Amino acid sequence: MSSLANEMPNAQAAKVTVSADGIAVDLVDGRTIIAPLGWYPRLVHCTAKERNHWRLIGRGTGIHWPDLDEDISIANLLLGQRSGESQISFQKWLAARTTGKKKRSGT
């Protein structure tokens, strides 16, 4: 078993910073993980307010964005894994957001 696999269950986020370009996660052990925002299409196609409305879940083993129905695990960040959402699922989500905005604005 690799040493990375042994670290996965213990990797916990302490702080999350999301910018227009990337997501940076400070871990409780002092490491920082940085991933490009482009890996997570829902985070790219949202407002800054939505992007910054997150909470830690699973005792810091994941990050949840309630407004976006998006979850990212710290283990996946450590492995360098992009979003696993299918293009079809993402397109449905994006279409629902667009439709919802039109209804709210009265168009």
**Residue-wise pLDDT tens digits, 35-67:** 999 999 999 999 999 999 999 999 999 999 999
Q: How confident is the model at residue 103 (pLDDT cuts 50, 70, 90)?
A: low
Instruction: State the CATH number of the domain containing residue 72.
Output: 3.30.2020.40
Report pLDDT digits (tens) over 29-43.
999 999 999 999 999
Domain total of the chain? 1
Asked if residues 30 and 7 have their Cβ atoms less than 8 Å apart, the reply is: no
Q: Would the pLDDT of 102 be above 70?
A: no
Q: Range of 43's domain?
A: 3-105
Name the residue among 6, 8, 1 with its Cα closest to residue 79: 8
User: Token pair for residue 106?
Assistant: 């009265």
Could you tell me the maximum CA-CA distance found in the chain, to the nearest angstrom? 57
Identify the pLDDT of residue 105: 53
Average pLDDT, the chain: 89
